[in-house]
Amino acid sequence: MAFIELHDVTRTFVSRNGRTSVAVKDFSLDLARGEFFCLLGPSGCGKTTILSLLAGFDHPTEGEILLDGAPVRNPSRDRGVVFQGDDSLYPWLNAIENVEFGLRMRGIAKKERRERALRYLDLVGLKGQHEKFPGELSGGMKQRIQIARALANEPKMLLMDEPFGALDAQTRNIMQHELRKIWSATKTSIVFITHDLDEAILLATRVGVMTAGPGGTLKGVISIDLEGERVRTDPTYTKYYATAYEMIREEVARASGRMAGEAA
Ligand SMILES: Nc1ncnc2c1ncn2[C@@H]1O[C@H](COP(=O)(O)OP(=O)(O)OP(=O)(O)O)[C@@H](O)[C@H]1O
Ligand SMILES: [Mg+2]
Q: What is the pLDDT of residues 175-194, one digit of tens each?
A: 888 888 888 888 899 999 99
Round to whole Å and give the CA distance between 129 and 150: 18
- From residue 50, give the alpha-carbon distance in Å to each of 155, 206, 247: 18, 16, 19
| 44 Cβ closer than 6 Å to some ligand 1 atom | yes
Q: Which ligand is nearest to the CA of 195?
A: 1
Question: What is residue 211's DSSP assignment?
Answer: P
Residue-range domain boundaries for the chain: 4-78+159-263, 85-154
The CATH number that domain 4-78+159-263 falls under is 3.40.50.300
Strands (E), 41-77: 62-67, 70-71
What proportion of the chain, given as a percentage, has pLDDT over 70?
97
From the CA of 69, how far away is ligand 2's center (Å)?
27
Tell me which ligand sits closest to the C-alpha of residue 40.
1
What are the pLDDT digits (tens) for 200-249? 999 999 999 999 988 999 999 999 998 877 888 888 999 999 999 999 99
Q: Tell me how far CA of residue 241 lies from CA of 4, 39, 47, 50, 254, in angstroms.
A: 26, 14, 20, 24, 20
Q: Considering the entire predicted model, what is its pTM?
A: 0.90
Ligand 1 atom 11: residue of nearest CA: 23
Spatial separation of the C-alpha atoms in residues 44 and 24, rounded to whole Å: 10
Nearest protein CA to atom 6 of ligand 1, as residue: 13
Atom of ligand 1 nearest to the CA of 41: 21
Which residue's CA is the nearest one to ligand 1's atom 3?
Answer: 13
Ligand 1 neighbourhood includes 138 CB (under 6 angstroms): no
